[in-house]
Amino acid sequence: MVLKTGAEYIESLKKRGPLRIYLLGEKIENPIEHPIIRASINSVSLTYDLAHNPEYSALMTTKSIITGNTINRFCHLHNSTEDLQDKVKMQRVLGQVSGTCFQRCVGMDALNAVFLTTYEIDQKFKTDYHQRFIEYIKLAEAEDWTIDGCMTDPKGDRSKRPSEQKDPDVFVHVTERRDDGVVIRGAKAHQTGAVNSHEHLIMPTLAMRNEDKDYAICCAVPADVKGITYYYGRQSCDLRRLDETEAGNVDCGNPVYGGQECLIVFDDVFVPNERIFMNGESEFCSRLVESFAAYHRQSYGGCKVGVGDVLVGAAASIAEYNGVEGASHIRDKITEMVHLNETLYSCGIACSAAGHKTPAGNYLVDLLLANICKQNVTRFPYEISRLLQDIAGGLFVTCPSARELSNPETRSIIEKYLVGAEGVSTMDRVKMLRLIENLTLGRAAVGYLTESMHGAGSPQAQRIMINRLSDLEAKKKLAKSLAQVSD
């Protein structure tokens, strides 16, 4: 089955075996119908539905470089620099439509990074990881999987290597090697879309040394494999999802779509040989981590820009509802928001256009520009949010709840005093304010702000890469040549 619809994707999630999920103190038996989880599933569903939408299908689908079949771009190995740019454009569209994190990119980025790394490991060690991984990709394409690219370990004491930790489980590692596979134990933190995935593609989280061999493991397991427990992340304002009123889910701000992050614990999980793509080749961890990080840093030049478009739209709308859309300082602030947002997009497009073919045959972004892209993403969304909050006025955090707006006794009072520009319904104004709260303080702010800061690596991780890739020696030569200073 290729190219699932959103409904077929949800059906396929139901067909998984039971998952062990803890959320808000409860063991969740039916994740699909839980209001908090459902909103995040709705976001992933968009990545399937838009593939069938004539307006977007050219962007959402492409031809597999392995089989030639038409597949969803989220399962694709990038085949050109245009492909890399189309990825960013697709992510922008999805950010615009969902207003949040749609979760499926991490797996796409992991597929591409593991593809190029397994090829290079095989070249050096005459292993057969790459062919195994091609078979895995064929399955991913055929089943149209959502894959959780599973990288970030909890890390324990940051001053110590994985093999030096008091508790070895703070990094995923191999506890037993058998003829037919390995057993792994440990955890992965901040896992985007973990519960909404069919598969976890597990990768090491940092460069490893020889003594960390047991931690140099890359492998795949189904989401419902025996031994996994999911601890669902608590996020700001998440209880608003449970707060149905007659006025609907107004207080959610974004009633339909949400993101998802989990702590995943692997408690002696068996992985058969055909699903192992690195097993002890510690010198290749840095190649895998850096290429995955670069792909995901590129991704942020698409998804965050799409959500940024929603912030710009919310700014223009609330200005209108407040009757201040003509004020020159408001127009100037909105122009600044657009300038910052399009700068991020330029970075996403630039690192894609400057990409190159890898020895394995897929395309990788320009590493320096991808890191510049993400470094800007750690800053500009905060300024865009600040400008939106400035334009909105303080009501987005002081507004009475939807319950007051549903209660006939209080509704008319709220409507009388929270009225805005003539002809604008108070309810519409409140809805827009709640969306602004959601984007800049609430649940979507996790995806738009905190994730912009820490997702795909915290700011310092990019600065290390920028420093390493900036070729200062060549630049020194330029300056010395012009100044006529001889070495």
What are the residue numbers of the active site?
101, 105, 192, 261, 296, 300, 303, 451
Among residues 48, 56, 102, 284, which is the contact residue for ligand SF4, using CB under 6 A?
A: 102
Report the residue number, 105 or 349, with the smaller CB distance to ligand SF4: 105
Report the residue number, 303 or 402, with the smaller CB distance to ligand SF4: 303
Report the residue number, 101 or 237, with the smaller CB distance to ligand SF4: 101
Task: Assess 105 for contact with ligand SF4 (CB under 6 A).
Answer: yes
| Phi and psi at residue 24, to the nearest 5° | 50, 45
From Fe ion, ligand SF4, none, interface partner of 462 (C-beta below 5 to 8 A by class): none
From ligand SF4, Fe ion, none, interface partner of 141 (C-beta below 5 to 8 A by class): none
Task: Assess 107 for contact with ligand SF4 (CB under 6 A).
Answer: no
Residue 201, helix vs strand vs coil: strand
Task: Assess 72 for contact with ligand SF4 (CB under 6 A).
Answer: no
Nearest Cα residue to 418 out of 407, 427, 406, 408: 427
Nearest Cα residue to 281 out of 367, 207, 380, 360: 207
Report the residue number, 93 or 307, with the smaller CB distance to Fe ion: 307
Instruction: Give min distance, CB of 413 to ligand SF4, in A.
Output: 40
Task: Assess 341 for contact with ligand SF4 (CB under 6 A).
Answer: no
User: What does the block give as tokens for 446?
Assistant: 């996790």
Binding mask 169-208 for ligand SF4 (x = CB under 6 A): -----------------------x----------------
Report the residue number, 442 or 455, with the smaller CB distance to Fe ion: 455
Report the residue number, 235 or 426, with the smaller CB distance to Fe ion: 235
| Interface positions, 309-368, toward Fe ion (CB under 5 A) | none
How many binding residues for ligand SF4 (CB under 6 A)? 11
To the nearest 10°, the Cα dihedral for 87, 92, 96, 98? 40
What CA–CA distances, in Å, run from 430 to 68, 233, 284, 413? 49, 28, 52, 14
Binding mask 276-305 for ligand SF4 (x = CB under 6 A): -----------------------xx--x--
In the numeric block, the tokens 């949040």 are attached to: 100
Among residues 23, 65, 101, 195, which is the contact residue for ligand SF4, using CB under 6 A?
A: 101
Task: Assess 432 for contact with ligand SF4 (CB under 6 A).
Answer: no
Contact window for ligand SF4 (CB under 6 A) among 34-42, 49-57, 96-104, 423-431: 96-104
Instruction: Give min distance, CB of 36 to ligand SF4, in A.
Output: 17
Instruction: Give min distance, CB of 297 to ligand SF4, in A.
Output: 9
In the numeric block, the tokens 């959610």 are attached to: 252
Secondary structure (DSSP) of 28-59: -S-GGG-HHHHHHHHHHHHHHHGGG-TTTHHH
Report the residue number, 61 or 165, with the smaller CB distance to ligand SF4: 61
| Phi and psi at residue 364, to the nearest 5° | -115, 145
Instruction: Give min distance, CB of 406 to ligand SF4, in A.
Output: 33
Element (H, E) at 278: strand 276-279
Distance CA 337, CA 333 (A): 6
Sign of CA dihedral 261, 266, 267, 269: positive
Q: N- to C-terminal Cα distance for the chain?
A: 64
Instruction: Give min distance, CB of 160 to ligand SF4, in A.
Output: 28
Task: Assess 106 for contact with ligand SF4 (CB under 6 A).
Answer: yes
Residue 487: other Cβ atoms inside 10 A: 6
Task: Assess 455 for contact with Fe ion (CB under 5 A).
Answer: yes
Return contacts of 55-64, CB within 8 angstroms, 24+ apart.
Answer: 56/90, 56/93, 59/86, 59/89, 59/90, 59/93, 60/90, 61/3, 62/86, 64/141
Instruction: Give min distance, CB of 28 to ligand SF4, in A.
Output: 22
Secondary structure (DSSP) of 54-98: TTTHHHHEEE-TTT--EEEGGGPPP-SHHHHHHHHHHHHHHHHHH
Nearest Cα residue to 295 out of 250, 236, 362, 229: 362
Instruction: Give min distance, CB of 42 to ligand SF4, in A.
Output: 14
Residue ranges that bind ligand SF4, judged by CB under 6 A: 101-103, 105-106, 192, 299-300, 303, 451, 455
Residues binding Fe ion (CB under 5 A): 455
